[in-house]
Structure 1
Amino acid sequence: MRYSPMLKLSHTPGLRLLGAAIVCAGYAALTACPSADSDLARFIEDTKKEPGGRVEPLPEIKPYETFVYTAADMRSPFLPSTPGAGAGYSGIRPDSKRNREFLEQFSLDTLKMVGTLRLGGHMFGLVQTKDGLVHRVTAGNHIGQAEGKITDITPAKISLIEIVPDSLGGYMERPAALALNE
């Protein structure tokens, strides 16, 4: 006869009782499941008996109104202007043939008016550079890097007209001044 561990267990009375208890517990566990299924079935039936919710109707969709672009034959704002169009081509240009003066190498915001001088009925302005040197200027002289031409000198300020680029590719005149620093 062959050796079997079950043969040994069947001869022990305490183990027989334990085996019977395990079989009974398994049977009880299997018979409890249908009770859970019946609860689920009852919940489903109750839910089906309740009235369903009301669904809102879909909103009315308005038809798309097309847009006709009528400016296709006009000039594109993203391309440069054509010469001769707009205020930028009024004929104002920097004089490239004119000899540059010493104070034109400095930016206007780095120059300071430090005083005036009257000699022989003629008014001169005194302008100081950033390195501390003082220069004498008169109406008609040029100062600053934007073609600034001095138009008037008073004890309080030096007035000038600058020629600066405009947004249309040309140039325009812009008034500027150096006020007396006290």
Structure 2
Amino acid sequence: MRYKKIIRLVPALSAAFLLAACADRSMHDLKSYVDEVKSRKAGHIEPLPEIKPIETFAYISDGRRSPFESQLQGEETVGQSTGNGLMPDFNRRKEELESYPLDSLRMVGLLEQLGVTWALIQTQEKTIHRVKAGNYLGKNHGQITQVSETQVELTEIIPDGQGGYRERQASLALAGE
């Protein structure tokens, strides 16, 4: 039994002795490589570019409004309508195509189903949606007023810059490939 344990240890011990014999404890090759690297000529590093100072600009109001103050001082707040009473319905649930700017959408086709004309609108991600008159699209509360064979017409409600809103006509033309 004892001989079997010794016989099992012989190959493991032999491998350990062979590996130890192969090792060069002086590390002569490593030392010579380090010496060779240290003796190399130092490389040239380009100097950092000169930083040019930015010219300062002194803002003089000369009676103009401050760019850091609200434009609506003393006026009605955004979301309230002014004289014309026009304003978007902020409580309405947004449709998916209202998250895209109008110029990123393309009309790529037309579909007629059960007497209803649908426009096929493609997003930047190449997803196609079908819309009809009454649907909304674009970031400016644009409601589709008419779908024809060549374009989708819509009415957008945009801020007028004075705390109110105004209507603007827009359209998406059928994209030609």
Length-normalised TM-score, structure 1 = 0.53
Q: Offset at 1:89?
A: 3.0
Q: Offset at 1:101?
A: 0.4
Structure 1: which 4+ aligned runs deviate by more than 2 Å?
Answer: 76-83
Instruction: Answer yes or no: is 1:120 the counterpart of 2:107.
Output: no
* 1:109 aligned counterpart, secondary structure: helix
Distance 2:82 2:109 in 1: 36
Partner of 1:137: 131
Q: 2:75–2:163: 8 Å Cα contact kept in structure 1?
A: no
Normalized per residue, the structure richer in helix is: 1
Partner of 1:163: 157
Q: Offset at 1:82?
A: 4.1
* CA distances 1:47-83 after superposition (whole Å, capped 9, x unpaired): xxxxxxxxxxxxxxxxxxxxxxxxxxxxx99575745
Q: Where does structure 2 lack aligned partners over 5 or more consecutive residues?
A: 1-62, 66-70
Q: 1:89–1:171: 8 Å Cα contact kept in structure 2?
A: no
Q: CA RMSD in A?
A: 2.1
Q: Which amino acid aligns with 1:100?
A: K
Partner of 1:172: 166
Distance 2:156 2:82 in 1: 15
Q: Which amino acid aligns with 2:132?
A: T
Q: Offset at 1:94?
A: 1.1
* CA distances 1:143-175 after superposition (whole Å, capped 9, x unpaired): 000000000000000000000000221100100
Distance 1:180 1:89 in 2: 37
Percentage identity across aligned positions? 40
Aligned pair partner of 1:147 in 113, 132, 141:
141
Length-normalised TM-score, structure 2 = 0.54
Q: 1:138–1:153: 8 Å Cα contact kept in structure 2?
A: yes
Q: Which of these two proteins has the greater Rg computed from alpha carbons?
A: 1
- What is the correspondence of 1:66-85 to structure 2 with a 5 Å cutoff? 80=72, 82-83=75-76
Instruction: Answer yes or no: is 1:107 the counterpart of 2:101.
Output: yes
Q: Which amino acid aligns with 1:101?
A: E
